[in-house]
Amino acid sequence: MSEVPAIEIEIHGQRYPIRTTLDRRYVLDLAVYVDRKLSLAADELPSSDTLTLAIVTALNIADELFQTRDLRGNDSHHVKARAAALEEMVDQALQLAGHRD
C-alpha cells in the first residue's frame, strides 16, 4: 500500500503538511475557508492567542455545520464521513502547531 501524499496548506501564516485522501483542490479550498474564518475571529478578538482563535473558529464552523445539518435533515452518514476526515485534518494541524510553539 502506498503512502498518502501530503498537501501543504497555510492557515494564519503557518504551513501544515496534511496527509489525506481527499481531493487536493478541496483541501486547499477548506484551508482558505478556515483561514478566512480565523482572520474574522482575530479581527473580533485582536488580543487573543492562536489557540483561543482556533477554538473560537472551530466553534463557529461547528455552528455552521450544525445549522446546515438541521436544515438538510438526516443526511448524517455523508456529514459524519466528511466530519471525520475534517477532524483528522484538524488533529494533525493542532499536533503540528503544538510542536512549533
Kindly state the cell numbers that stand for 30. Answer: 477548506
The helix or strand, by DSSP H or E, that contains position 8, with its residue range, turns out to be strand 6-11
In the chain, what are the domain boundaries? 6-100
Q: How many helices (H) and strands (E) does the chain have?
A: 3, 2
Q: Determine the length of the chain.
A: 101
85/44 Cα distance (integer angstroms): 28
Ordered per-residue pLDDT tens for the chain, 101 residues? 578 889 999 999 999 999 999 999 999 999 999 999 999 999 999 998 989 999 999 999 999 998 887 776 656 667 777 788 888 878 877 887 775 54
